[in-house]
Amino acid sequence: MFDNQTYIGRFAPSPTGPLHLGSLYTALASFLDAKSQHGLWLLRIDDLDTPRNIAGATELILKTLEVFGLHWDGSVVYQSQSTKYYEEALQRLELSQLIYACQCSRKSLATDGPCYCGEKKLDLTLPHAYRVKITPKTIAFIDQLQGLISENRVDQTDFVIKRKDQIIAYQFAVVMDDHLQGITHVVRGYDLLASTSKQIYLQQLLGLTTPHYMHVPIIIDAHGFKLSKQTLAEGVDLNRPEQLLYELLGLLRQNPTIALRHASVQEQLSWGIAHWNPQALSDCQTITWA
């Protein structure tokens, strides 16, 4: 889609509510990283998990990014437009016998132990998920902030890539989406670090390139809880973006100058791009916001 680009980054919010401070923090980090390297910054709305989508959330997310000067390149991409590609890739994996249908329920897995559906003949007219077969293999990668991550997948269970409700699971969708958009750099929250080896595992099965990864800290409140839609973190205030942006630059440990405090959104972002130093967040997993 974008030829000859050495940096294509993205922000991929789910439309499950307005952007809260934690998600705006991640958006800003990924924007600054892309722009400081003259890269493209794409916006994808991760809208596959339809039962969790909230009406109006996408519009609010776009509006918030605009108010904070985080202008994306190209047009907004919606996961729901890529269903055909997910299904094609799924069929390829099935033909190569790398995935299998599964009719276990969460309850049966908890009480009866691991799934053996791969060894059984199932009635496929009944609801079923698809799981990827895990073969012993170590997945290692270098995260730009968290360092060397090495995970031995031997003791991991086969994970679901298409859910019983027919929805493509996050791990599989994100791998296909990043591939379809030609993403070279993924900057996202530390809470997704644990998913990365699963995603690299899938990239290797599908013969796709692995992007660079950088997992930035997540914002926690004074009680140690992650700010998230689940904890009903509020959407950010759109009335004073300068003030919040200044605070976010501080939370990103970029040491914004005092003079910047009253600067416009555009001036703050230009400063942020020119001075972007992600290493200030090295080995950092959480930042407290009180």
Q: Where on the chain is the footprint of ligand GLU (CB under 6 A)?
A: 12-14, 46, 174, 188, 192
Nearer to ligand GLU, 13 or 39 (CB): 13
Side-by-side strand order, sheet with 77-78: 8-11, 40-45, 77-78
Q: From residue 275, give the alpha-carbon distance in Å to each of 36, 68, 271.
A: 8, 18, 6
Tell me how far, at minimum, the Cβ of 125 lies from ligand GLU, in Å. Answer: 32
Q: Are 56 and 243 in contact (CB under 8 A)?
A: no
In the numeric block, which tokens belong to residue 91?
A: 């069929």
Q: Give the residue nearest to ligand GLU (CB).
A: 46
Nearer to ligand GLU, 192 or 208 (CB): 192
CB of 286 to ligand GLU, least distance (A): 16
Q: Which is nearer to ligand GLU, 48 or 117 (CB)?
A: 48
Q: Closest approach of Cβ 28 to ligand GLU, in Å? A: 14
State the nearest-atom distance from the C-beta of 205 to ligand GLU, in Å: 18
State which residue, 14 or 82, has the beta carbon closest to ligand GLU.
14
**Structural tokens at position 71:** 């202008």
CB-based contacts of 276, cutoff 8 Å, min separation 6: 32, 33, 35, 36, 254
Q: Minimum distance between the CB of residue 191 and ligand GLU, rounded to whole angstroms?
A: 8
Q: CB 101 → ligand GLU: shortest distance, Å?
A: 26
Label the pairing between strands 129-132 and 138-143.
Answer: unpaired
Under 8 Å between Cβ of 42 and 181: yes
Residues 140-158 as b or e (16 or more Cβ within 10 Å = b): ebebbbbeebebebeeeeb
Task: Give 149 or 265: the residue with its C-beta nearer to ligand GLU.
Answer: 149
C-beta of 46 vs 151, nearer to ligand GLU: 46
Q: In this structure, what token pair is assigned to residue 224?
A: 């140690």
